[in-house]
């Protein structure tokens, strides 16, 4: 599997099937919502958002640009951190309500051990882009939806989070996976530029102090 890349359709199908088997072994119910799913307290969520402040600012800006190509009434776009916690979710009030009914809301942890096979959990595990449609999702509450996710990497290729877009299965299109992957790469590029600017400012400040 190519880290950060888009797998072939056959590779995605194989990984989804393997993930379904893992989900069964974890004891995930495909029928009902996990009422004991790990969720951050409001203060814990705020702390995580604060730690990821600079990345979140860039992510939210890109999500707003992404929405210019989609219908907010049909799709939601979310960001989960490296641990699988959803830190930001955007969309219409109606779509937010639909997703919150299956615990897809800020503060909830979406790892494979929590929710089974989803775009967020599988993208996080494989560290590559992935697209799921309808019954590809392990839990039946997610059937009828399509989800495309891409990993976001930081320094030294370390995973910093997952960007995901989800909407009705009738709206599935392979270009969506390409678009979300391009958005993730753009976020990485933006973050590299910010880091370089910060390092340059520190270097200039150091030189100024030496020359004084």
pTM: 0.89
DSSP structure class, residue 59 = H
Q: How confident is the model at residue 59 (pLDDT cuts 50, 70, 90)?
A: very high
Q: Can you give the residue ranges of every domain in the chain? A: 9-211
Residue with tokens 């890349």: 5
Q: Give residue 211's pLDDT.
A: 60
CB contact at 8 A, 1 and 11: yes
CA–CA separation, 55 and 61 (whole Å): 10
pLDDT tens-digit readout, 178-189: 999 999 999 999
Q: For the chain, how big is the Rg over CA atoms in Å?
A: 18
Q: Report, in this order, helix, strand and coil percent for the chain, each rounded to 5.
A: 55, 20, 30
Q: How far is CA 11 from CA 2, 129, 182, 195, 199, in A?
A: 10, 11, 20, 34, 40
CB contact at 8 A, 160 and 152: yes
Q: Give residue 201's pLDDT.
A: 59
Q: How confident is the model at residue 198 (pLDDT cuts 50, 70, 90)?
A: low
pLDDT tens-digit readout, 131-178: 999 999 999 999 999 999 999 999 899 999 999 999 999 888 888 999
Q: Across 85-155, where does the E strand assignment appear?
A: 86-90, 130-133, 145-153
Protein fold of 9-211? Beta-Lactamase (3.30.450)
Residue with tokens 């910093």: 160
pLDDT tens-digit readout, 94-141: 999 989 988 999 999 999 999 999 999 999 999 999 999 999 999 999
Specify the length of the chain in residues: 212
Q: How far is CA 137 from CA 16, 23, 36, 118, in A?
A: 8, 10, 19, 5
Selected residue with higher pLDDT from 198 and 170: 170
């Amino acid at each position: 599997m190519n880290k950060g890349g888009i797998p072939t359709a056959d590779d995605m199908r194989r990984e989804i099937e393997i993930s379904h088997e893992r989900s069964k072994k974890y004891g995930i119910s495909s029928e009902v919502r996990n009422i004991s799913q790990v969720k951050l307290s409001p203060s814990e969520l705020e702390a995580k958002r604060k730690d990821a402040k600079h990345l979140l600012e860039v992510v939210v800006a890109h999500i707003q640009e992404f929405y210019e190509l989609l219908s907010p009434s049909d799709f939601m776009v979310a960001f989960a951190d490296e641990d699988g916690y959803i830190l930001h979710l955007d969309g219409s009030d109606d779509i937010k309500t639909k997703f919150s009914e299956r615990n897809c809301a800020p503060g909830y942890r979406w790892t494979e051990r929590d929710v089974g096979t989803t775009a967020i959990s599988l993208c996080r595990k494989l560290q590559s882009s992935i697209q799921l449609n309808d019954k590809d999702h392990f839990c039946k509450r997610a059937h009828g939806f399509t989800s495309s996710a891409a990993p976001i990497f930081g320094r030294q290729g370390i995973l910093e989070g997952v960007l995901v877009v989800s909407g009705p299965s009738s709206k599935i299109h392979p270009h969506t996976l390409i678009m979300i992957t391009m958005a993730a790469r753009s976020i990485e590029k933006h973050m590299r530029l910010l880091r370089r600017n910060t390092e340059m400012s520190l270097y200039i400040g150091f030189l100024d102090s030496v020359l004084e």
